[in-house]
Amino acid sequence: MPETEPQQTATPDAAAAYTPTGRTVPTRSRDRATYDREQVHSILDEAYVCHLGFVRDGAPVVLPTLFGRVGERLYVHGSTGSRPLRAAGGSDEGLAVCLTVTHVDGLVLARSAFHHSLNYRSVIVHGTAHPVTDPEERRIALDAIMEQVVPGRSKDSRPADEKELAATAVIRLDLREVSAKVRTGGPSDDERDLALPHWSGVVPLTRGHAEPVPADDLDPSIAVPEYLSTL
């Protein structure tokens, strides 16, 4: 993440955890919920894509999109013609949204169909999104979104020109109403099922990066940058 934060960024709370609210306390499996600020940040920072939910014309809409975190603020990327970007900029009150991120870490296979599950880490953020119009904050936001995908890339590419910036919109969402939910461990088989002849356990899932494939028109003398080779 960029070390410099825009002046508009909300001042981070000194507390180690976010305060639970009626919208961030789950109705099921409350023992899996956490409000730890460091854990929330780590789950967000590891993700490539978020899902942004909002209501448009009385109907729910959920869009996958790129995002980046700078301190206690998330920046969401889109085109100036996208629905959430237009809606957020169309009112001084902003746009009520729900943003989610999920990582699947394992397939949990139980002896019974009912107890099959996933090991996962997820974050839900409720709040109001606002358009980013300050040029310096937009620059920081767009760099953060690029760094979210590949750390180090923002310094190894041509910055957007005026025409490209005019076609790009960014909204911001402060991390205030936030919760994470995490499941780890094996299946929760009922005692009556323990003797059944079915395999039970966890199939771990890992994320990996294959060797970078150069563009067909890339100058052969340009080597793979270190920030890619060390992914």
Which CATH number covers residue 81? Answer: 2.30.110.10
Q: What pLDDT does 80 receive?
A: 63
Determine the structural domain holding residue 214 and report its residue range. 30-229
Q: Is residue 223 part of a domain?
A: yes
Q: Is residue 4 part of a domain?
A: no
pLDDT surpasses 90 at 120: yes
Mean pLDDT of 188-207: 96
Q: What pLDDT does 3 receive?
A: 40
Query: What is the number of structural domains in the chain?
Result: 1
Would you place residue 57 in the very low, low, confident or very high pLDDT band (cuts 50, 70, 90)? confident
Instruction: Tell me the percentage of the chain whose pLDDT exceeds 70.
Output: 88
Q: Is residue 196 part of a domain?
A: yes
* pTM of the shown model: 0.87
**N- to C-terminal Cα distance for the chain?**
16
Give CA–CA dist 119/34, Å, rounded. Answer: 15
Q: Is residue 151 part of a domain?
A: yes
Q: Is residue 99 part of a domain?
A: yes
Q: Is residue 168 part of a domain?
A: yes
Mean pLDDT of 134-161: 93
Q: What pLDDT does 8 receive?
A: 41
